[in-house]
Amino acid sequence: MVTLNKIRIILADDHIILRQGTRQLLDNESDMEVVGEASNGYEAVQLVSELKPDLVIIDVAMPRMNGIEATKKIKQIAPSTTILVLTGYDYDEYIFNLLEIGAAGYLLKDVSGDELVGAIRAVYNGEPVLHPTVMKKLIDRCKTPVAKQTETPAEGLSDREMEVLKLAISGKSNKDIAETLTISLRTVQAHMRGIFNKLGVGSRSEAIIYGLKRDWFSLKDIP
């Protein structure tokens, strides 16, 4: 009998009812396991240090330490831990700060249970998950010509890596990218790892923002 490796998750939210409901939802999934709960950012950082989870679902507004500061500390002590933001706030300051410091996804609390479960699997597999409202803000930021850094991608990424990143920013999954380029899924994953290493980022969301800031893409690359 094959034992399924479960995605080990910590829930960080100061609303206990929301944590309980989310835990009940995730405990029904055969590939997920909630290993800890935190009621504030400080507790979240401590639990990550102790339990080394695969993924943290974190809110922004929490006592003692907010989600932004907690995410920053978590990525410092456990860079391989995936961060999925689940919050009621869609403020630009929160969104861009969290994505830039390493959050792999940003969802608002109006998502359905099925959407949350799908998002967890997606970010765990290295694919970004952004609420439609958040994606719109990212596109709007791209349209605004404010102090973009002008580095040439040729200084770091290969032509193939740029091709993969351009398809990623268009919203394609790793599987879609593999089919579009007629290469294997494993090859796409290897290209993504190479991109992360060269850019010094930890997620596809960070890589996309990195490219947007340096004006590597035009609006036609964004759906």
Output the 3-class SS for 118-172. Answer: HHHHHHHCCCCEECHHHHHHHHHHHHCCCCCCCCCHHHCCCHHHHHHHHHHHCCC
Whole-number Å distance between alpha carbons of 65 and 223: 36
Residues in the chain: 223
> Where do the structural domains in the chain lie, given as residue ranges?
7-139, 147-221
Tens of pLDDT, residue by residue, the chain (223 residues): 344 689 999 999 999 999 999 999 999 999 999 999 999 999 999 999 999 999 999 999 998 899 999 999 999 999 888 999 999 988 777 888 888 888 888 899 988 999 999 999 988 877 777 776 776 666 566 555 544 444 555 457 888 988 888 888 776 778 888 999 999 988 988 888 888 888 877 677 777 777 777 777 665 555 4
CA dist 125 and 136 (Å) reads 23
Q: Which fold has domain 147-221?
A: Arc Repressor Mutant, subunit A (1.10.10)
The predicted model scores a pTM of: 0.72
Give the right CATH number for 7-139 from 3.30.310.10, 3.40.50.2300, 3.40.50.720, 3.50.50.60.
3.40.50.2300
